[in-house]
Amino acid sequence: MRRRLFLAPGHTLLEFVIAVALGLLVTAAAVSLYTAQRTAFDQASDATRIREAGLTALTLIGQQLQMAGFVPADVVRYDAPAPLFGCSGGRPTGADVSPGCESLPSRSDGVLIRYVGDNISTWASTAGQVTDCLGQAVTTSHAALGDRGVPVVNRYFARVSTSTGEPELYCEGNGKAGSAQPLVEGVERVRLRYWLADRADAIEASAVTAGQWSSVVAVDLCVLVRGAARAQHGRYVDCDGVSALVPDGRARQAFWRRVAIRNSVSGVSL
């Protein structure tokens, strides 16, 4: 004789509701954990990109500042212009020997760096020529240099790219005048202050007279880097040391470095 088992409908429905509730709870917890982990990962990745961009920009500009005024030992009686020329809130424009300044919406400072290049102080091109900051061969000659070196002039500044809409660090070398190219993405502003041999404080480019550029012995360099759009809120310290609110949901960080002008005739070590 077969026996039939009957389950109480109310008991089965209660179990189903509990199971669904537990399932939803576990799913919500998993989604919440994933979202938190994803947010943390994105923030960490953004912070890493900001740091890499900032340190790269400091390295690129800093290395060139250290080269300012360099002349190879076998070059004698080279009457060169001042190693540096800077602009406050603008970029250097015009001729290499007599530059001027053009304002930038980014309020980024710009700097022009001069030195004599050879196959030791610069990376040689495929044809063995001296190169500028973009790896372009520099063919400009100078009567006093002969075949022993070539004047190199590199200009650095930051501005928003017209193609990507992102701020970038640019360099324009005299290997191809008027052709600035981006080097580091995310660099929103470059800030430069100059130490003169006869002063106890650093000053902006606008306060340096034409005759004082040869007396610059060190440069305080700062770059402000902007991250990706991630709806972040908070504050950051800008290149002027001022605490500011994040205006657009993008994290920002400033990076500083002091660079000694090693080839300065004033020769002050820091």
Confidence at residue 40, expressed as pLDDT on a 0 to 100 scale: 67
What are 269's two structure tokens? 């070590």
Percent of the chain past pLDDT 70, that is, above it, reads 85
Nearest 5°: phi and psi at 151? -65, 125
Asked if residues 252 and 236 have their Cβ atoms less than 8 Å apart, the reply is yes
Confidence at residue 267, expressed as pLDDT on a 0 to 100 scale: 45
What are 190's two structure tokens? 């470059």
Beta-carbon-side half-sphere exposure of residue 26 (alpha carbons within 13 Å): 6
Amino acid found at 8 = A
Nearest 5°: phi and psi at 92? -70, 135
Nearest Cα to 78, choosing from 31, 156, 145, 14? Answer: 145
For the CA atoms of the chain, what is the radius of gyration? Answer: 29
- The CA distance from 264 to 268, in Å, is 8
- With 0-12 / 13-18 / 19 or more C-beta atoms within 10 angstroms meaning exposed / middle / buried, residue 23 is exposed
Kindly state the DSSP code that residue 144 receives in the 8-state scheme. Answer: T
Q: Which helix (H) or strand (E) holds 226?
A: strand 216-229
What are 16's two structure tokens? 């189903």
What are 159's two structure tokens? 């501005």
pLDDT along the chain (270 residues), means of 10: 53 76 82 72 82 96 94 75 94 93 93 90 84 89 59 95 93 92 95 93 95 94 91 85 88 95 62
